């Protein structure tokens, strides 16, 4: 087998670390050639040197000089800013791991769609904000999109060669986050450090807060709609705190197949990177069901976690609503982390933005349209936030 080259977008984040681990375990089959980060020059330089990458880029233009200095004498080329990220994506590679967090990853993911390429997609916002455009472009150029989120990856593997027409429904599981057993009053008083205490995964701050509010599962429902071409009423959520079962597919004949694995993002990363045959994993990554029993499943509580209900409503509405939802949520989460609003204020702000007329616009047909919707929704969210009226700390 030939050695596959990997472009790693979001190289310093949690998905980036998982991907680097898998590549390091399989040096004869994989090599990282390009790494892209956000603004941390020192961290990206360390990753570039450790992986032997030929090019490193930061999204934050002001961090360019620090990156050049950190890489001086290594022979690794570098750049910073939007054009540098697009240059990184344009460099030849077999697999692009798209793990830049938030709507910021949309343009890079779209640019990465090239003939014959595999996109290991962990940036769910690419499909939430512009799902129709991204999937249409992938089909047009002959690129393959593989889901790197653990839930979607499990569903993808379970579906296998079955046609989507054979599917009655798909179920994504959720841990329930740190507040699964909390009362509504306790959740209302939750502090950022409590919301950041995820029971199973160590992730970035934004996605961890989304897990606490269960907005993350709502965004994943929207992502699944585009990945698998299902209707909104074919997608469901179950709370499963052990996170051993990541997804279930119910077929038309009544049979149900489940995708199981330890809650370790390296499992999904290994599947996406093993495009020419499955990769070997260390023994510690294998599931022992006898040690994990019993497994618990619960319906989601939309009264305590209204963010999930808002996402489900945006999924049903379609059009621009998912992009508006995502943009408003990013502003709301940042406000909560900054101490500007209380935890319930996240859902309150998102609901207020989504109730505006512009949320009923048509789905974006291009990245430019998606980014325009995103920009307008953020402006609206900031205006509403500055006007007050949301739960405050």
Q: pLDDT tens digit string along 277-286?
A: 999 999 999 9
Q: What whole-number distance in Å separates Cα of residue 232 and Cα of residue 241?
A: 24
Residue, of 313 and 293, whose pLDDT is higher: 313
pLDDT band at 214 (very low <50, low <70, confident <90, very high): very high
**Which class for 367: exposed (0-12), middle (13-18), buried (19 or more C-beta within 10 A)?**
buried
pLDDT band at 393 (very low <50, low <70, confident <90, very high): low
Residue, of 1 and 329, whose pLDDT is higher: 329
Residue, of 229 and 101, whose pLDDT is higher: 229
| pLDDT number for residue 389 | 72
C-alpha dihedral sign at 110, 115, 120, 124? positive
Do 169 and 238 meet the contact criterion of CB atoms below 8 Å apart? Answer: no
| pLDDT number for residue 119 | 97
- Taken in order of first residue, the domains within the chain and their CATH numbers are 4-148 (3.40.50.720), 169-252+298-387 (1.10.1740.10)
Do 306 and 351 meet the contact criterion of CB atoms below 8 Å apart? Answer: yes
Query: What are the C-alpha distances in Å from 264 to residues 21, 203, 332?
Result: 12, 11, 28
Q: DSSP 3-state helix, strand, coil percentages of the chain (rounded to 5)?
A: 50, 15, 35
Residues 6 or more apart whose CB falls under 8 angstroms from that of 391 comprise 188, 341, 342, 343, 344, 345, 348
pLDDT band at 359 (very low <50, low <70, confident <90, very high): low
| pLDDT number for residue 388 | 76
Q: What whole-number distance in Å separates Cα of residue 241 and Cα of residue 225?
A: 23
Do 275 and 5 meet the contact criterion of CB atoms below 8 Å apart? Answer: no
| pLDDT number for residue 391 | 65
Average pLDDT over every residue of 132-145: 96
Average pLDDT over every residue of 220-237: 97
Do 128 and 222 meet the contact criterion of CB atoms below 8 Å apart? Answer: yes
| pLDDT number for residue 2 | 80
pTM recorded for the entire structure: 0.93
For residue 133, pLDDT beyond 90? yes
| pLDDT number for residue 124 | 86
Q: What whole-number distance in Å separates Cα of residue 289 and Cα of residue 281?
A: 17
164-210 pLDDT, tens digit each: 999 999 999 999 999 999 999 999 999 999 999 887 766 788 889 99
| pLDDT number for residue 245 | 98
Residues 6 or more apart whose CB falls under 8 angstroms from that of 20 comprise 8, 11, 32, 47, 50, 51
Cα of first residue to Cα of last residue in the chain, in angstroms, is 57
62-89 pLDDT, tens digit each: 999 999 999 999 999 999 999 999 999 9
Tokens of 339: 């101490």
**Which class for 111: exposed (0-12), middle (13-18), buried (19 or more C-beta within 10 A)?**
middle
| pLDDT number for residue 203 | 76
Q: What is the mean pLDDT of the chain?
A: 94
Q: What whole-number distance in Å separates Cα of residue 150 and Cα of residue 260?
A: 10
Provide the CB-side half-sphere exposure for 97 (13 A, CA): 40
Tokens of 337: 């982390």
Do 82 and 59 meet the contact criterion of CB atoms below 8 Å apart? Answer: yes
- Taking the CB of residue 22, how many other CB atoms lie within 10 A of it? 24
Do 13 and 204 meet the contact criterion of CB atoms below 8 Å apart? Answer: yes
Average pLDDT over every residue of 335-356: 95
| pLDDT number for residue 238 | 98
| pLDDT number for residue 392 | 65
Query: What are the C-alpha distances in Å from 285 to residues 115, 173, 270?
Result: 33, 20, 11
| pLDDT number for residue 86 | 95
């Amino acid at each position: 087998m030939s050695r596959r080259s990997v472009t790693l977008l979001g190289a310093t984040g949690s998905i980036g670390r998982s991907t680097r681990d898998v590549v390091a375990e399989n040096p004869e089959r994989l090599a990282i050639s390009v790494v892209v980060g956000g603004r941390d020059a020192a961290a990206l330089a360390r990753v570039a040197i450790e992986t032997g990458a030929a090019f490193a880029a930061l999204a934050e233009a002001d961090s360019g000089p620090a990156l050049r200095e950190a890489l001086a004498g290594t022979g690794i080329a570098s750049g910073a800013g939007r054009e540098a990220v697009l240059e990184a994506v344009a460099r030849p590679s077999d697999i692009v791991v798209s793990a830049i967090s938030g709507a910021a990853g949309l343009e890079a993911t779209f640019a990465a769609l090239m003939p014959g390429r595999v996109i290991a997609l962990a940036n769910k916002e690419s499909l939430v904000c512009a799902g129709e455009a991204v999937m249409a472009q992938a089909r047009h150029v002959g690129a393959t999109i593989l889901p790197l989120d653990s839930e979607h990856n499990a569903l993808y593997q379970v579906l296998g060669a079955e046609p989507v027409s054979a599917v009655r429904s798909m179920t994504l599981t959720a841990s329930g986050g740190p507040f699964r057993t909390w009362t509504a009053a306790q959740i209302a008083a939750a502090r950022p450090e409590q919301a950041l205490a995820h029971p199973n995964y160590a992730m970035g701050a934004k996605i961890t807060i989304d897990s606490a509010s269960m907005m993350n599962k709502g965004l994943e429902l929207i992502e699944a709609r585009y990945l698998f071409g299902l209707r909104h009423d074919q997608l469901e959520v179950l709370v499963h705190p052990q996170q051993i079962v990541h997804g279930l597919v119910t077929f038309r004949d009544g049979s149900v197949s489940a995708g199981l694995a330890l809650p370790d993002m390296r499992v999904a990363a290994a599947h996406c990177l093993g495009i020419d045959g499955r990769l070997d994993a260390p023994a510690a990554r294998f599931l022992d069901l006898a040690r994990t029993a019993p497994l618990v499943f619960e319906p989601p509580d939309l009264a305590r976690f209204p963010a999930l209900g808002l996402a489900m409503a945006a999924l049903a509405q379609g059009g621009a609503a998912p992009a508006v939802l995502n943009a408003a949520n990013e502003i709301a989460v940042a406000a909560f982390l900054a101490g500007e609003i209380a935890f319930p204020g996240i859902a309150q702000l998102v609901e207020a933005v989504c109730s505006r007329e512009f949320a009923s616009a048509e789905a974006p047909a291009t990245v430019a349209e998606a980014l325009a919707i995103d920009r307008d929704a953020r402006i609206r969210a900031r205006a509403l936030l500055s006007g007050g009226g949301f739960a405050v700390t």
